[in-house]
């Protein structure tokens, strides 16, 4: 028997970029908690993620989910030097805004605002798009993230030079690269496996 899509009759569309909290609903059937084996629990990494439809759908391939999650956590949460957390979130947001992932952008706009305390500029990036002027250093981070996001990539030595001019050391530049690259992974999953729900 062919697997089926999941219907979500009651959802409220979320058609613009926002910092508001919105949900995400899957188009394919997630696993239920009673179906989880020890390998699945390991794949979820955090037990609390069994409450998330997104992770319960991805856990169908638990080895890949576990590795994805550990990659994500180290790129964004590793506190050892490099780019401040707020700016890793800014890179994630710029990629999400450019790729058009409204859900990802909402989450990472909130994180970027919280960690930077520059909520108004984050809101301008959401409203105006990735060309918004939000200061030399942030413009360089956004421009590099956006260039890396085009397919094929337009990231060039000019972007590296602008980041160095903005006083990012090479570890911080590597953090921009990894944060932006990771959101090219995350956006594609979120955009192709479900949709936002503002209900």
Partner 1 sequence: MTQASSDIIDQLVGIAPGSALDAIRARRPRARANAERTYRELFAPQAAEGLPLRERLAVAAFVARLHRSEPAAAHYAGLLVEETQDSALAAAVAAAAASDAAHGPYGHFPSLELRSEDRDGPTWAPDAEQAAALGPRLMAAFIHAHLVVFHPRGAGRDALRALLAAGFSTTEIVTLSQAIAFLSFQIRVVQGLRLLAG
Task: Please say which residue, 84 or 129, places its beta carbon nearer to partner 1.
Answer: 129
The pair of three-digit structure tokens given for residue 93, joined into one six-digit string: 């947001």
Helix/strand/coil for 176: helix
Q: How far is CA 32 from the centre of its chain?
A: 25
Task: Please say which residue, 59 or 122, places its beta carbon nearer to partner 1.
Answer: 59
Among 12, 37, 51, 71, binds partner 1 (CB under 8 A): 71
108-127 core/surface letters (b: 16 or more CB in 10 A; e: else) = bbbbbbeebebeebbbebbe
Q: How far is CA 135 from the centre of its chain?
A: 22
**Chain position carrying tokens 């569309």:** 13
Q: Does 165 bind partner 1 (CB under 8 A)?
A: no
Task: Please say which residue, 72 or 118, places its beta carbon nearer to partner 1.
Answer: 72
Is omega for the bond preceding 152 within 30 degrees of 0, making it cis? Answer: yes
Q: Does 181 bind partner 1 (CB under 8 A)?
A: yes
Site track 87-126 with partner 1 (rule: CB under 8 A), x = hit:
-----------xxxx-------------------------
Among 160, 166, 197, 198, binds partner 1 (CB under 8 A): 160
Look at residues 84, 96, 101, 81 and name the one whose alpha carbon lies nearest to residue 146. 96
Question: What does the CA dihedral 87, 93, 97, 100 come to, rounded to 10 degrees?
Answer: 150
Residues 3-62 that bind partner 1 (CB under 8 A): 3-5, 13, 15-17, 27-29, 57-58, 60-61
The pair of three-digit structure tokens given for residue 39, joined into one six-digit string: 């390998």
Q: Does 70 bind partner 1 (CB under 8 A)?
A: yes
Task: Please say which residue, 101 or 112, places its beta carbon nearer to partner 1.
Answer: 101
Binding site for partner 1 (CB under 8 A): 2-5, 13, 15-17, 27-29, 57-58, 60-61, 63-65, 67-68, 70-71, 73-75, 78, 80-82, 98-101, 129, 148-153, 155-157, 159-160, 170-171, 173-178, 180-182, 184-189, 191-193, 195
């Amino acid at each position: 028997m062919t697997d089926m899509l999941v219907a979500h009759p009651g959802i409220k569309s979320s058609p613009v970029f926002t910092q508001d909290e919105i949900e995400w609903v899957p188009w394919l059937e997630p696993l239920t908690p009673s179906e989880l084996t020890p390998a699945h629990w390991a794949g979820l990494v955090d037990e609390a993620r069994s409450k998330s439809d997104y992770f319960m759908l991805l856990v169908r391939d638990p080895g890949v989910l576990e590795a994805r999650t550990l990659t994500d956590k180290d790129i964004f949460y590793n506190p050892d030097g490099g780019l401040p957390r707020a700016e890793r979130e800014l890179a994630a947001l710029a990629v999400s805004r450019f790729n058009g992932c409204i859900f990802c952008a909402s989450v990472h706009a909130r994180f970027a605002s919280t960690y930077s305390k520059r909520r108004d500029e984050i809101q301008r990036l959401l409203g105006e798009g990735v060309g918004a002027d939000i200061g030399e250093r942030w413009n360089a981070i956004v421009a590099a993230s956006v260039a890396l996001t085009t397919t094929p990539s337009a990231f060039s030595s000019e972007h590296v030079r602008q980041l160095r001019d903005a006083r990012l050391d090479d570890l911080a530049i590597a953090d921009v690269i990894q944060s932006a690259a990771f959101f090219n992974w995350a956006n594609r999953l979120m955009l192709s496996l479900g949709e936002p729900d503002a209900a």
